[in-house]
Amino acid sequence: MSTAIEFNNISKQYRLGLVSTRTLNHDLKRWWTVNVLRKEDPYLKIGEVNDRATKGESEYVWALRDISFKVEQGDVVGIIGRNGAGKSTLLKILSKVTGPTTGTIRARGRIGSLLEVGTGFHQEMTGRENIFLNGAILGMTKSEIARKLDEIVDFSGCERYIDTPVKRYSSGMSVRLGFAVAAFLDPEILVVDEVLAVGDAEFQKKAIGKMQDVSRSEGRTVLFVSHNMVSIQQLCHTGLLLKNGMIETSGPISDVVNIYLSNIKTVNDYNRHGNGAVKTTDFKTSATRVDVGHDIEVDFDIEAYQHVDILEAEIEIKDSNGQNLANISNTDAGTLIKPMEKGEKRHFHCLIKNINFAPGNYTANIWLGSPYATYDKVEDCIRFNVIQTEEFILRPIPYYSSYRVILQSEWDI
């Protein structure tokens, strides 16, 4: 199989805020540096990682940063990620709607894109006229559309209204018509943004069925963006997970979806309390499944909102009944935390060794505080599943669930 699309270090920078004299100033400065001084664009260096929720310093953000990957011919790729991760920007660049800031994309074959249904529909024109206009906008020729007209009308289920202006249509009907036109596009590479979530349940089923047919037909390469994990797993073979404009992971679709689902919550989605002097801003665990007796790693970022002299970090592990099991502290490990200035950010890495808990589900809190106050406690943000293996448990039946720990032992009999 050959490569159908090749992304090489694709980056896209956006400027935030309003167009004003400040932008004019930047534009003039950029023009001067690039065209007169023959140097690099000064604003390309100062972009920040695009995290929508945190307040940034720079006006410039990278919506995409150094995206490189290859898509095999005939592959159906699902692109997933949270809102603002860069999915649509990536598709827009591939569809040539906007250019990349740096990098190149090479592709074999005609690229057809469907970023929105019913693009270019004119309210005053009839359904039939709009089918032709929309089809031509998407890159079909008149004769091609005329040949498929009956099928399109039939698929849309709007036959009765086909000679009525689209402004008389219900919103669902115009969406159906728009999707029907797009469904009959046949380029070698098809790019589809979140458009399957349109119409009623019956039409959605029909739309996904049609997309399955499209992606199964010979040699067609399809790139999908969707937030619907069920339909994406039905349609795609390969997954690409984007986070803050960068590739988090890629691989078989089910693996990528699992990773996405376990990462989907942010630190703000959990119960938390404390005086807020220092807060956890992000965290990550190395795995959501761990074999009995093995290690787990926790990474978290913290930020001080006021000066603190004393800071301790703890990870509090509980079982599924809420019973406290272990309190893991940096102090116990002999790693003391230096005082933090206001606005200072730090990254902590904690390796929890030899998890000898009984098989089952566990949760943990991340606690930041001092002996006198709790700064921030994020409850149940870490979740992991301990799996029974023969390394420590040789009995052929499950370990008794009423016992919470496993202790290794040596016997002389």
Partner 1 sequence: MTESQEWTTVIQPKDKLWSVDFKELWGYRDLYTLFIKRNIITQYKQTILGTMWFVIQPILTVLMYMVVFGGIAGIATDGIPQPLFYLAGTCMWQYFSDCLSKTSNTFVTNSGLFGKVYFPRLIVPVANVTSNLLRFGIQLGLFVVVYIVYSIIGCPASMNWYALLFPVLVLMMAGLSLGFGILISSMTTKYRDLQILFTFILQLWMYATPIVYPLSLVKGKTAAGIDLYTVMHLNPVTPVLETFKYGVLGAGEFIGWGWLAYSFVFMVILLIFGVVIFNKTQKSFMDTV
Smaller CB separation from partner 1, 116 or 159: 116
How many alpha carbons fall within 13 Å on the CB side of residue 396? 0
Among 132, 270, 305, 392, binds partner 1 (CB under 8 A): 132
Q: Which of the 8 DSSP states describes residue 147?
A: H
Under the criterion CB under 8 A, does residue 90 sit at the interface with partner 1?
no
Q: Interface mask (CB under 8 A) for partner 1, residues 134-173, using x and -?
A: --xxxxxxx-------------------------------
Under the criterion CB under 8 A, does residue 120 sit at the interface with partner 1?
yes
Cβ-contact 107, 77 below 8 angstroms: no
Query: Closest distance between partner 1 and the C-beta of residue 90, in Å?
Result: 11
Burial class (CB in 10 A: 0-12, 13-18, 19+), 341: exposed
CA dihedral 387, 390, 395, 398 (to 10 degrees): 10
Query: Closest distance between partner 1 and the C-beta of residue 157, in Å?
Result: 24
Under the criterion CB under 8 A, does residue 133 sit at the interface with partner 1?
yes
Q: What three-state secondary structure class fits 188?
A: coil
Query: Closest distance between partner 1 and the C-beta of residue 283, in Å?
Result: 33
Under the criterion CB under 8 A, does residue 270 sit at the interface with partner 1?
no
Among 129, 186, 194, 291, binds partner 1 (CB under 8 A): 129
Under the criterion CB under 8 A, does residue 70 sit at the interface with partner 1?
no
Among 87, 92, 148, 294, binds partner 1 (CB under 8 A): 92
Residues 21-50 interacting with partner 1 (rule: CB under 8 A): 23-24, 27
Under the criterion CB under 8 A, does residue 353 sit at the interface with partner 1?
no
Under the criterion CB under 8 A, does residue 238 sit at the interface with partner 1?
no
Q: How far apart are CA 341 and CA 311, in angstroms?
A: 11
- Ramachandran bin of 343, using left for φ above 0, alpha for ψ from -120 to 50, beta for the remaining angles: left
Among 33, 95, 288, 388, binds partner 1 (CB under 8 A): 95
Window contacting partner 1 (CB under 8 A); options: 96-104, 258-266, 330-338, 389-397: 96-104
Q: Report H helices in 224-362.
A: 229-235, 253-263
Q: And the tokens for 191?
A: 């790019």
Residue 27's CB is within 10 A of a number of other CB atoms, namely: 13
Distance between alpha carbon 38 and the CA centroid of its chain, in Å? Answer: 38
Distances (CA, A) of 189 to 94, 106, 222, 278, 396: 10, 12, 6, 49, 52
Q: And the tokens for 66?
A: 């150094």
Query: Closest distance between partner 1 and the C-beta of residue 242, in Å?
Result: 18
Among 29, 39, 70, 110, binds partner 1 (CB under 8 A): 110
Smaller CB separation from partner 1, 107 or 325: 107
Comparing C-alpha atoms, which of 364, 386, 368 is closest to residue 377?
Answer: 368
Under the criterion CB under 8 A, does residue 280 sit at the interface with partner 1?
no
Window contacting partner 1 (CB under 8 A); options: 128-136, 205-213, 294-302, 363-371: 128-136
Smaller CB separation from partner 1, 16 or 333: 16
Query: Closest distance between partner 1 and the C-beta of residue 49, in Å?
Result: 18
Under the criterion CB under 8 A, does residue 103 sit at the interface with partner 1?
yes
> Looking at this protein, which amino acid is placed at residue 301?
D
Query: Closest distance between partner 1 and the C-beta of residue 226, in Å?
Result: 17
Count of positions on this chain that bind partner 1 (CB under 8 A): 44
Window contacting partner 1 (CB under 8 A); options: 119-127, 224-232, 307-315, 324-332: 119-127
Smaller CB separation from partner 1, 21 or 321: 21
Cβ-contact 360, 312 below 8 angstroms: no
Burial class (CB in 10 A: 0-12, 13-18, 19+), 118: buried
> Residue 11 forms beta bridges with which residues?
102
Q: What is the CA radius of gyration of the chain?
A: 27
User: What are the DSSP E strand ranges found in 73-159?
Assistant: 76-80, 102-107, 111-114
Q: How far apart are CA 196 and CA 288, in angstroms?
A: 30
Among 105, 149, 310, 325, binds partner 1 (CB under 8 A): 105
Smaller CB separation from partner 1, 21 or 409: 21
Cβ-contact 241, 247 below 8 angstroms: yes
Q: Write the CB contacts of 261 (distance below 8 Å, at least 6 apart in sequence).
A: 229
* Binding positions for partner 1, rule: CB under 8 A: 14-15, 19, 23-24, 27, 92-111, 113, 115-116, 119-120, 122, 124-125, 129, 132-133, 136-142
